[in-house]
Structure 1
Amino acid sequence: MKGLLLRLSALDADAAAAVRVIAHFQALLGGGLDAAVLVRSTAALAECPAGLEPADGRVVRCGPDGAPLPGRPSMVSASVRLTPSGRVWLERPGAPGPFDELVLEWMAIAAATLGGRAPRAQPPQVADPLLVERVLSAHEPVADRSQALRRLGLDPAGTLRAVAVTCPEGADALPGAVALCERAGLPGGARVAGWGAGAVVLVQGGDGAASPCEALRTVLCEGAGERVGEGAGSGTRGSAGSGSGAARWVGREPGSGGPYGRTVGRRRPGAVRAAGLRAGVGGAVSALEAGASWAQARTALRFTVPDPPYEAVADHDALGPVVLLADVPGRRLRERAEVRALAELAEQPGGRGVIAALAAFCRTGSLRQAAAGLHLHHSSVAARLTRAERALGRRLGDPQDRFAAQLALYAHRLATAPER
């Protein structure tokens, strides 16, 4: 962390401020912590009153000058609920601060340690990007990569996975990646570093063979209220319109402000609300070969789209032979009639909704499951699928045509994504 803070001058102001917020709370977690210390330090950091109401119902409030405040707040600008009960909040007058979300996320993590209760997982750590770059470089000697892994707190003899995270152009992926990893409960305290316009996550610990893909996907779907089904994306298919198949509902509260619930105070507890956040997961490799997993993660990332959120995470291993499509030059993919048809459809009014419906149906094989995941009536989805059939010249009720449509969707994503 010290090495990263020394390089803050090389980062833009927003990224530097986000790293300072994370470093502040990691320092608190490393020392003695009680409710008063947490609230007082948070208020000073946020430069506005802050408060904590733990499970026992007492209220702790402090102003930005460190002075205790009496009673309950008359106004809360943003809050996060705690598990199993309680909440933390900020009382900022006027417009919210640019890092209020991040401050509250980490205040909630720290609050989980009060009263001797450990957080549900070791929190992610912001890593020195130069060390991460050394770990991922195939040109660095093995001894240097091994030393960099140890300095990051990772075992050179263990297994490791890399995850590539990105946000829309102009957004900073680092805070979103940190929050995503924390909410997903990745084992061993994931190491997160900025990487160009995106972020890289190194995951080690737990079951080295287990992919974090489903955990990451569930977190992103939480903010959009999408179904995360056992059969969805697993290769199993229900009959169209059957609505069969077990699914776990991750709800969106009424009035949450659309995908990822932009209003902090009314969001579902624990939801990561980074609009457009996407992630690609690499395979499990020897830690000294982390660069191979990183290359796979970046390839998997090209198969993702931000909407619907279920499609915002892709696992290189789960894609199987489909990853070979990524080796086809974008120019050749764009020459395919189906890819051109999807590109034209995307530019038409309502076209992106048609493509989202097509993706949901190809994934589930069920009209009703696709409609439930998109929060639409099945008749609306059916109308969109009819439009997709006309554009592609395919009958989606036919398994072969549905498979061809799925390949066309992948090719369309690859044709519009950066090749490297």
Structure 2
Amino acid sequence: MQELLGRLRALDPTASQSLRVIACFDELMAGRVGTEGLLSAAAALAGRIVGLRRTPNAVAVRFDPKGNRLPPGLPSADALKTGGLVIWIERGAEMPGANDAIILERLALALQLHYDDGRPPAPRDLATLFDDTAELTARRDAATRRGLAAGARLRVLAAPLFALWQTHPAGPEDVIATDFGPVHAAIVPADSEVAASPLGIGIAVERDDLGLSFRTALVALRLADSSPDGISRAEDLGGLVETLAERPMTPRMDADEAAVSRLASLPWALSTLDAIVRATSVRDAARTVGVHHSTMTARIDTITEEFGFSPLDGWGRMRAAMALLRWRVRTSRVFELPAPASGALPVS
């Protein structure tokens, strides 16, 4: 799929986005995601409200791009009518988006297959499982319905709706609304091998703590755009990931995070700061980013001046690491559908 995307991006930039839309609905259909999940996914992909009316006298179902269910409304004038279904994207006076047609087409196909399947949809239990405010008995009942045994080690996967999956997750899945928009979430055995991009992999827990695994998966996902392969594992951060997961993102940056934001305007700063907090010495950090030791020393002086403390010593290194992680989580663009590439290169 990645190779095909690369070739399509070179030949026809819009086609690569369309392929991501197709892949999204294929994954959701494979996971037996129900009507509400499919509609919220379509709304997120379109960036606009999406609606469905199953019969002429039925009440319309509408979802916004954040996965929230809205009051009923009337179909748009250009609604797609197929197989007895009426589905639409609400753009008002705007021109249709480049992917509107393929989103409606794949949504219609997914809904028709869902209704023709004859099997009841998989229960929408994942939101309950991830909600620590829900009664423990309700969460355990939901876990039992989804085949999650007590004592089993599990972890949550979180991916944008347009993520590309090399292997389909072997476990319950659904589209879950979050503060950052809807995500494709799945629960898998802790030792499962998974491959998708971008992808956040939560910490391993038992079923009573799936909410924590979900929150750490979201943190990991928002760090995935700085990972070379697009896969970010919460456990790589140790205890830091739980601190990030349990600390709400405030509108205002603290002083350390603001320093990272200022440093980000320097082309070398983020890679250098990342190397500093990971390396065991200045020489190792210089080797990581491919610069001379003296150049690294000069860069550290600039970083130290901006922070007001040395990122090399004791708590200073921890403060710098946390500030860098918080800034990356805040500024992550992992939920943005990659724009069509311009200046396409020839395909060999």
TM-score by length of 2: 0.48
Q: Report 1 or 2 for greater relative contact order, CA contacts < 8 Å, sequence distance ≥ 6.
A: 2
Q: TM-score, with normalisation over the residues of structure 1?
A: 0.41
